[in-house]
Amino acid sequence: MDRFNERVEFDVPMAGHTSLRVGGPADALATPADTYELTGLLAMLIKTGVPWFVLGGGTNLLVRDSGIRGVVISLRPGFSDIAAVDSDQDAVAVHAGAGARLSALCRYALANNLAGMNFALGIPGSVGGAVIMNAGTENGAIESVLSSIEVLHVPDQKEIICRRALLFNYRGLVWDSSIIAKSGYEPIVLAASFELAPADPRTQAAEAETLRARRKQRQPAGFSAGCVFKNPSADAPAGYLIDQAGLKGTRIGDAQVSEVHANFIVNLGRAGATDILRLMDIVREKVLHEYGVELEPEIRTVGESKEK
């Protein structure tokens, strides 16, 4: 790890790298500058048997209080480029590194009068994380504008995979078994290409302002990880069920079911992952008891499962 110099840190509290502001320490946090460093790091980790975890924007993530064993790999800032790579009269191909902020991609589209990304305005996180989670809103999802992804088959084989070869479901990219079989590991998304369209700047700006205002009104400020649970159906979304169960404002320590949007859990300042997990259990049990619906988490929980 010495060759990474300042690009590796040890015993790094993950609370500083997640939007919930909770999480114990990772044994190490590495930020490779390019694919060469990334492949070298992965080869070393495989050889030594050290586990790793690829961190996106930390926005759809709950890290347990005991932290993460092994190496957390962040693709920011080494994989954060955004640029138009091809265009014609009807379409513009925009390439974005996996470490780029999704918000930066949205701003790029607006600044260059390109339609297609406004649905993602206000969605936090990275481009790579957005692809893996098929991030979206009622106005659209990543799968609808994605044209291809560049992946790394661990430890060192790159491949471009076209959209038609990818299977998406609600809030997720499902890797085909033949893709995983190439290395025995899930591929690491390095970059994504999006097919956007030239648009009238005034129309784009007006639409963006409307969507931002709507999102600001509907969603709470503060430390959160976005929607905690997947919507079981369009007719009875998770937030509605949690609200109807009378759970808005319910607290465990400083973890609280938002009073603005019931499918958000906010950290009021000093919450731990254990508080949030207990609150999630309370919500799931109450909704199951009241409505017979078992809520499935949308946020990902990682790290040591047993507190030290």
Residues identified as active-site:
171, 227, 298
Dmax over Cα atoms in the chain, in whole Å?
A: 60
Phi then psi dihedrals of residue 90, to 5 deg: -110, -15
Residues 295, 255: contact at Cβ < 8 Å? no
- As to burial, measured by CB atoms within 10 angstroms (0-12 exposed, 13-18 middle, 19+ buried), residue 93 is middle
List all residues 6 or more positions away from 281 whose beta carbon is below 8 Å from its beta carbon.
Answer: none
Sign of the CA dihedral running 217, 61, 64, 18: negative
Residues 120, 96: contact at Cβ < 8 Å? no
List all residues 6 or more positions away from 257 whose beta carbon is below 8 Å from its beta carbon.
Answer: 242, 247, 248, 249, 250, 251, 264, 265, 279, 283
